[in-house]
Amino acid sequence: MPTKYLLSLIFLVASQGTLAAGARPPVDVADPHPSYKIFTQSPEELICWAAAAKSVLRMYPQRNRDSVCEIVSKIRNQNCCLPGDGIIERCNYRGRVQDVYRYYDVPFHEFGVDFDQLYRELKAGRLVNMIINMSRFKNEERQGHVNTIYKAEKLDDGSYRFYVGDSGPYRWFRFRSRDVKRLRDGRWSYVSLNENFTIERFVTVLPQ
């Protein structure tokens, strides 16, 4: 099989959350919201917050007409768009998904690192933004980032497996709750071969 087709197959399997050999099967599942779709950003862009919010706003069709750059424009109160949904430099900044939801009058609430609550939110049909500080390399300074947890599985040992859609460098990944470690300073850290981040908080958007 040509390499490019093999890589495409691997990505498809990973994005759908198929279990690897030897992985624990779930005893309960919080399925993805049917409207969920990932929206991405260019590597040099800092608008993960707008891309993540755009994914969640699909639960509200009457509020889903704006593109990612149009969302930024409305929050900044200026025209930020370039052709092809690009964004001008002065609008390229780290914002907050909470500000987007307030602007579009979308109900939400925030909570800290509580995986039982996180699972309950997803089980109730809600999408959850995960606000993190991340780095792609071991010694790289961590930067603020936002992605969206769209699916979860409860495992037979009482832990959870969470599925994440990411507008930035990760795209799709999953992590186990038991692999998130609490540091001495109180932060919650997850480190694997491909991901390296601390979890700051969760933002749940209530379905329509």
Please give the pLDDT value at position 14: 45
Q: Is residue 157 part of a domain?
A: yes
Residue 58 predicted with pLDDT over 80: yes
Q: What is the DSSP string of 120-133?
A: HHHHTT-EEEEEEE
Average pLDDT, integer, range 42-60? 87
For 76-125, write each residue's pLDDT tens digit.
999 999 887 688 999 998 899 999 999 999 999 999 999 999 999 999 98
In which domain, by residue range, is 133 found?
23-205
Q: Is residue 14 part of a domain?
A: no
Q: Are the CB atoms for 114 and 129 separated by under 8 Å?
A: no
pTM recorded for the entire structure: 0.82
**Size of the chain, expressed as the number of residues it contains:** 208
Q: Are the CB atoms for 154 and 160 separated by under 8 Å?
A: yes
Q: Is residue 7 part of a domain?
A: no
State the total domains in the chain. Answer: 1
**CATH at residue 144:** 3.90.70.10
Query: How far is CA 41 from each of CA 26, 92, 122, 178, 208, rounded to the nearest angstrom?
Result: 32, 11, 25, 30, 26
Q: Is residue 165 part of a domain?
A: yes
Q: Is residue 28 part of a domain?
A: yes
Q: Is residue 13 part of a domain?
A: no
**Interhelix angle 48-57/68-76, nearest 10 degrees:** 110
For 119-164, write each residue's pLDDT tens digit.
999 999 899 999 998 765 555 556 788 999 999 999 999 999 999 9
Q: Is residue 5 part of a domain?
A: no
Which residues on adjacent β-strands are paired with residue 129? 148, 203
Q: What is the mean pLDDT of the chain?
A: 82
